[in-house]
Amino acid sequence: GIYFLDQKITVGDVEMPIVILGDPAYPLMPWLMKPYTGALDSEKELFNYRLSKCGMVVGCAFGRLKGRWRSLLTHSDLSETNIPIVIAAYCVLHNFCESKGETFMAGWEVKANRLAADYAQPGTWAISRA
């Protein structure tokens, strides 16, 4: 309700809320989509597989953003309300660079991943414990 203000999108003929993808360590919230855990039937396994594929696309996109815009690798002092705006601006700038022929160099993402190790995020155990 803070970032998307009950916005909905239509996929095929189904209207659904905008959600954030998360991993199993996060608590289930109305705005968070996470995989099923425990004993799974085939439908839940398929859901988890498709959710994982979506998460990989998001991960690759952020990897490219971090490769081009290294400031995303460091701590940010932005307020919560400005973070989505800044990330959207990075996306627009990235797409502008791509449209003008400024190709993305694969080595940038590799270097960004090495640099990101210096700014490791807390493990999921910290989220579960909280």
Sign of the Cα pseudo-torsion (60, 62, 68, 74, in order): negative
pTM over 0.75: no
**Residue 112 backbone phi and psi in degrees, to 5:** -60, -40
pLDDT in tens, the chain (130 residues): 566 677 888 989 999 888 888 888 888 888 889 999 999 999 999 999 999 999 888 888 888 888 888 888 777 888 888 888 888 999 999 889 888 988 777 777 777 777 766 666 555 555 555 5
Is residue 33 within 8 A of residue 23, CB to CB? The reply is no
